[in-house]
Amino acid sequence: AAAGPVPQEEARGMRSRQLWALATICLGIFSALSIWFSASAVLAPMTEKWGITDAQGSFLTSMVNVGFCVGCLASAISSLPDFIPSPVLILIGSEGAAAASACLCLVEGFGGALACRFLVGVCLSLVYPPGVKLLSTWFDAQERGRAIGIMFGAFCLGSASPQLLSGALMSSSALDWRVIVLSTSGVAAVSGVLIYLFVEVGPFPFPSSTGRFSMSHCTLALKDSRVRLAIVAYCGHMWELFCVWAWIAKFLQSSWHLRPATAPLVAFAVISMGWPGSWCGGVLGDRFGRVRVAAASLATSGLCIATLGLLSHEGPLFIRMLLFVVWGLTGLSDSPQYSAIVTLYADQRYVGIAVTLQMLCGYLVTVLALWVVPRIATEISWRWSFFSLSAGPVVSLFALSCMRRPAESDADKQEELQMEDLIDVTPSEPRANIPVTGAGDSTDGTSRGWGDAVAAAGSVTHQLTATRLGLPRS
């Protein structure tokens, strides 16, 4: 009887450590990634100082994405995310990104600014993907979507914060743009140290990679078709999301004729809606199926952005603002689903590589989108440039529709092979990282029903028991 409270105390202690890890990682992601859009937020005063054209401003915004893609490619080829502990990578990336961003205050001219922003992107590739992997080690499959959703909400707030600072910059002539750059850089540097000192790999670690670096690791990471389709869907999602985040203030000024001091504040409010949207998306994905929630989010956000593009400055302001708020809620709510699917169904030895490749592909798309959207706005109008963003959700919905559960025999075979890998290769690995498709986590968004779920659970239990007792498997 005396031993009863011990498991409860252990559970409470475990929950406290999970919440601490979640809060620290989210703070780090918020701080580090706030410098991603810092140059976009201060583009107006930089344009006045250096005489930057609209085309050069577009390059300055997208150069972080280019650097991020180069960094992700180098990390994936070298297998760094699965050979070096995530806290170490996050520390190196945060300090490097902070230093490169701070150098923006020292350079003179467009060329130096371009180089600084490129280095920021390279360094952030060591923060964002390892952050997703590190967080995933603290939560099992049933809670991972919710945790990743909260983390992406922190990414959203970090991306929106420069817009808030930009509004203050436009409202006060006494505030120098360098203050924004240096403040975001300083906070990013501190956040990297916090994660390194206070967050370790969690109780649900992925199997350790063995052997030397090899390009074949990338192939193994993408072996499952569900991982590849999730990456395609993620690319369509990024086409829409990133361009709205980058150009919403410009759209509001050009199409809605908002004042330069007001547009960034409205942009901050819209982008910030992604935090509750991402959290709710993660919770709903864990409960009702990731593909189903992602599809509903994509359909809603795509319809909203297409309607906003068509309306431009026409129609009641209340209706247009309501559409933007709905878009803010749904534009990021599908994002946790893709990362959750990738971490669950990729080869568990190379999850870090899989997440890095996912983000590499997604941000490669944003490089093209960040060039195409302002070009359409220059040649035609911002109305049609925003309408063109609805093509991203269409592509994502098509990829999700192709995601089918394997035939029952194939599913059983995959499940058995995964259990063999678990028991024979990594006997201490927690079972929660095995991608078992259940009633609440079916990749095609449908439920097997309670009977099938119970049968599947019984099958897994039988296989594990048979293996440990040395009995023949059925």
Give the pLDDT confidence score for residue 169 in this predicted structure: 63
Q: What angle do CA 224, 226, 230 make, to 5 degrees?
A: 125
| Averaged pLDDT for residues 63-85 | 86
pLDDT tens, position by position, 141-150: 788 888 888 8
Arithmetic mean of pLDDT over the chain = 78
pLDDT tens, position by position, 356-382: 889 899 989 988 887 888 888 878 888
Residue 99: burial class (beta carbons within 10 Å; 0-12, 13-18, 19+): middle
Task: Say if residue 468's pLDDT is above 80.
Answer: no
**225-246 as b/e: b if 16+ CB within 10 A:** ebbbbbbbbbbbbbbbbbbbbb
Task: Say if residue 442's pLDDT is above 60.
Answer: no
pLDDT tens, position by position, 274-312: 889 998 998 898 888 899 999 999 999 999 999 988 887
Short-list 95, 116, 96, CA closest to 104: 116
Give the pLDDT confidence score for residue 293 in this predicted structure: 94
| Averaged pLDDT for residues 405-415 | 40
Of the pLDDT bands very low, low, confident and very high (cuts 50, 70, 90), residue 347 is confident
CB proximity list for 299: less than 8 A, separation 6 or greater: 393, 397
3-class SS shares of the chain: helix, strand, coil, % to 5: 80, 0, 20
CA dist 304 and 292 (Å) reads: 19
CB count within 10 Å of CB 73 equals 16
Please answer whether residues 439 and 450 qualify as being in contact, where contact means their C-beta atoms are separated by less than 8 angstroms.
Answer: yes
For residue 452, CA distances in Å to 184, 439, 449, 466 come to 51, 8, 6, 21
Please answer whether residues 337 and 325 qualify as being in contact, where contact means their C-beta atoms are separated by less than 8 angstroms.
Answer: no
Task: Say if residue 439's pLDDT is above 70.
Answer: no
Kindly provide the residue ranges of all beta strands, DSSP E only, lying in 204-303, ordered along the sequence: none
Distance, C-alpha 243 to centroid of its chain: 15
pLDDT tens, position by position, 318-330: 888 999 999 999 9
pLDDT tens, position by position, 77-95: 887 888 888 999 999 999 9
Lowest mean pLDDT among 122-126, 254-258, 353-357, 418-422: 418-422
CA dist 328 and 269 (Å) reads: 9
Q: Which of the 8 DSSP states describes residue 201?
A: -
Task: Say if residue 466's pLDDT is above 60.
Answer: no
CA R_g for the chain:
23
Give the pLDDT confidence score for residue 64 in this predicted structure: 87
Give the pLDDT confidence score for residue 305 in this predicted structure: 93
End-to-end CA distance of the chain, in Å?
39
Q: Which of the 8 DSSP states describes residue 105?
A: G
Give the pLDDT confidence score for residue 461 in this predicted structure: 42
Amino acid 240 reads: E
Please answer whether residues 1 and 92 qualify as being in contact, where contact means their C-beta atoms are separated by less than 8 angstroms.
Answer: no
Task: Say if residue 403's pLDDT is above 90.
Answer: no
- Residues of the chain with pLDDT > 70, as a percent, come to 78
Is the alpha carbon torsion for 182, 188, 192, 198 positive or negative?
positive
Question: What φ, ψ does residue 347 adopt, rounded to 5°?
Answer: -55, 120
| Averaged pLDDT for residues 400-423 | 49
| Averaged pLDDT for residues 259-286 | 87
Give the pLDDT confidence score for residue 209 in this predicted structure: 58
Residue with tokens 């025999």: 409
Short-list 105, 101, 95, 124, CA closest to 360: 124
| Averaged pLDDT for residues 151-174 | 73
Residue with the larger pLDDT of the pair 104 and 57 = 104
**456-471 as b/e: b if 16+ CB within 10 A:** beeebeebeeebeeee
